[in-house]
Structure 1
Amino acid sequence: MAGGSVTVERAEDWQTLQRHLYGESSEDRDPGDQYRTSEVFRGHSNEAYTLRTSLQRFVGTTGEWQLEIRLLREFNKYAQQFIDEPESFFHLQSLAQHHGLPTRLLDWTYSPLVATYFATGGDPDVDGEVLVVDYAAAHEHLPDNLQEVCELAETEMLDTDLLEAGIEMLLRESGEETARAHVRAGSANLLEIKSVVTEFIDQHPESYAVFFEPPPIDQRIANQGALFASWFPAAPQQPMDEWLETHPEFFRKVVIPAEQKQPFREKLNQSNVNHRTLFPGLDGLATWLTDSLKPTTKGDR
């Protein structure tokens, strides 16, 4: 049940951070029990940041929301020399988000340590934060067809195939005989996706977020324990955190004090969570070496 205030915890040291991120301590559990959680995480280097999607920032106050489909259509057209034909609309959307195109998706991770890495970057004089969401509880607000897909698949986490199945179900219910052709992301069919997305949103006008696992696009997805949240706000410009703030039953925050950013980064690096491992390749390696070997004076610490 919604109501109350969002829990905000402050991690003044590494041990406190672990307790806030992982919740239930090992001492409180039966040694024979398996520990499973439906929590996912996102790190902000500045706690003042909002959860606006790149599409929301791109459109701004212009109201040009039709650009969402045009961006995807043009991306699909010009990316053919670099990628195979996307298997579905959601596969294409995941590829676009991963490579920096404005979309309605937001990056999340299964790993609290990965989220902490991103929370400890940026301005060293500004507090960061880790956002924590119980996706299973958030999915109780999904449209009925997506909840039915989760029940049929006996899962609380969606993926691109299950999302496609949900859209096909919606189209069949509306009498659409060529549902699969509409959902498949070929260049010609992307023009038809606009009506599908519009109908999908109209079926459930309240705000909701769909957490789903992307396809294994590259090693970065795996190393970061990445997943996406597709954000469907009731008002086009509503940031996701405004909705989450009304649901403290499945949303909380862990603040990373500015003075702990560097010490926490050093702990993360010792745990092999750093730019080299999270961004495989020469760019990630160069950033990791630059951060690791940067000279400091006593006054810098």
Structure 2
Amino acid sequence: METVIDKIVYDTVKSLGDFFKQLPSLDVKIKENIFYRGQSNTKYKLTPSVFRNSNLKNENKIYSDIMTECSQEFEDVKLHNEILSKMQHYGVQTRLLDVTVNALVALYFACEGNKNEDGAVFVIKSKDSEIKQYDSDVISILSSLPRFKVDEKKEIKKLAEKAKCKIDKIVPPKVSSIDREIAEFNSDPLIKRLLHEIKKEKPAFEDIINPCDLLNNYFFTPRKNNARIIRQSGAFMIFGLGNEEFEVEEYAERDSDKSYKIIIGRDYKETIIKQLSVCGISKATLHPELYKVAEYIKEKYNN
């Protein structure tokens, strides 16, 4: 099977060598911000788990239940994004999507599982403006959204879209006019409730939310406070109230500014996993928890 990208023909990846040929060139990687995500089925979309299977309608309940039932686990966790990160770590549905800055880590996850399906590594190119610090105001805003019911989030989205539409029509862009629209948006009782939620973790947060921030998705690297995040060179994409799926170009050139995906052949997953093991990428290194290391050792000597 071949994937046609402009005038270049890329074979489905059969080995580690094939994979390196399809990655962005070194010059591009140095100049650009690139994240990777590996998925064991190429048909899977880049969609956070909370947007799948109608989970969104229960997002606030999922959040509250975890905080109630496992309160001791979160005693020292103050930021909403860190709560979401921990929930994600244990497989709870969130609006986070795991990504990594290590292409080989992504390749491992593309090969792990779904042995009868082609896998995919998504090469995600981002702008500086789309990358935030874990404790930035924008990340605080978006990570507070799970505290709201689905109907409330729909209303917040509607308010944000209305405000953004008004701001976009201000030509030429006048700071005073834009500030007035943002102030009107922040005067709504529902937005005031969102501000209140943010201030629980950031008492000094200024009483201003830019409606455009609520409609975008952003990348952030969490605090490296657990071994899995460190081993996997982990980062997250947090989704706002805009698109529920991150779309990539099906046939983008590898050194263009477009995000794209690399297809991993189903028949070669096991071979590639063995090749990655030689490079220090394995279930044991990426999942340092005892039960995962035990699984790896059992599999190693049962083959």
**1:159 correspondence with 2:107:** no
Deviation string, structure 1 residues 256-300 (Cα, Å, up to 9, x no partner): 1122212211111011100111111211212211332233xxxxx
Matched AA of 1:219 = A
> Which residues of 2 match residues 95-174 of structure 1 at below 5 A?
95-136=86-127, 147=129, 157-163=131-137, 167=141, 174=186
Alpha-carbon shift at residue 39 of structure 1 (Å): 0.8
- Count how many residue pairs are aligned between Structure 1 and Structure 2: 247
Deviation string, structure 1 residues 83-127 (Cα, Å, up to 9, x no partner): 334322222222222222211111111110000001112233321
Answer yes or no: is the 8 Å Cα contact 2:50–2:95 preserved in 1: yes
**3-state DSSP class of the match of 2:98?**
strand
In structure 2, what is the Cα distance between the partners aligned to 1:213 and 1:122?
26
Answer yes or no: is the 8 Å Cα contact 1:129–1:254 preserved in 2: yes
Q: Which residue number corresponds to residue 245 of structure 2?
A: 239
Answer yes or no: is the 8 Å Cα contact 1:42–1:108 preserved in 2: yes
Q: Which residue number corresponds to residue 49 of structure 1?
A: 44
In structure 1, what is the Cα distance between the partners aligned to 2:95 and 2:111?
25
Gaps in structure 2 of 5+ consecutive residues: 143-178
Q: Which residue number corresponds to residue 228 of structure 1?
A: 236
Change (3 A) 1:43 1:246: closer
In structure 1, what is the Cα distance between the partners aligned to 2:85 and 2:9?
31
Q: Which residue number corresponds to residue 25 of structure 2?
A: 24
In structure 2, what is the Cα distance between the partners aligned to 1:93 and 1:178?
20
Answer yes or no: is the 8 Å Cα contact 1:277–1:284 preserved in 2: no
Gaps in structure 1 of 5+ consecutive residues: 140-146, 148-155, 190-195, 296-301
In structure 1, what is the Cα distance between the partners aligned to 2:120 and 2:287?
21
In structure 2, what is the Cα distance between the partners aligned to 1:8 and 1:71?
45
Please point out which of 194, 197, 206 is paired with 1:182.
197
Matched AA of 1:292 = K
**3-state DSSP class of the match of 1:125?**
coil
Matched AA of 1:224 = Q
Q: Which residue number corresponds to residue 15 of structure 1?
A: 17
Alpha-carbon shift at residue 56 of structure 1 (Å): 1.5
Q: Percent identity?
A: 21
Change (3 A) 1:87 1:171: farther
**3-state DSSP class of the match of 1:82?**
helix
Q: Which residue number corresponds to residue 86 of structure 1?
A: 77
Alpha-carbon shift at residue 165 of structure 1 (Å): 7.2
Answer yes or no: is the 8 Å Cα contact 1:51–1:240 preserved in 2: yes
Alpha-carbon shift at residue 203 of structure 1 (Å): 4.1
In structure 1, what is the Cα distance between the partners aligned to 2:104 and 2:47?
23
Matched AA of 1:128 = G
**3-state DSSP class of the match of 2:52?**
helix
In structure 2, what is the Cα distance between the partners aligned to 1:165 and 1:48?
29
Q: Which residue number corresponds to residue 151 of structure 1?
A: none
Answer yes or no: is the 8 Å Cα contact 1:43–1:117 preserved in 2: yes
In structure 1, what is the Cα distance between the partners aligned to 2:194 and 2:184?
7
In structure 2, what is the Cα distance between the partners aligned to 1:34 and 1:275?
26
Answer yes or no: is the 8 Å Cα contact 2:132–2:138 preserved in 1: no
**1:74 correspondence with 2:76:** no
Matched AA of 2:25 = E
Alpha-carbon shift at residue 76 of structure 1 (Å): 2.2
Q: Which residue number corresponds to residue 162 of structure 2?
A: none
Change (3 A) 1:259 1:217: same
Answer yes or no: is the 8 Å Cα contact 2:96–2:238 preserved in 1: yes
Q: Report the TM-score when normalising by structure 2.
A: 0.68
Q: Which residue number corresponds to residue 170 of structure 2?
A: none
Matched AA of 1:159 = Q
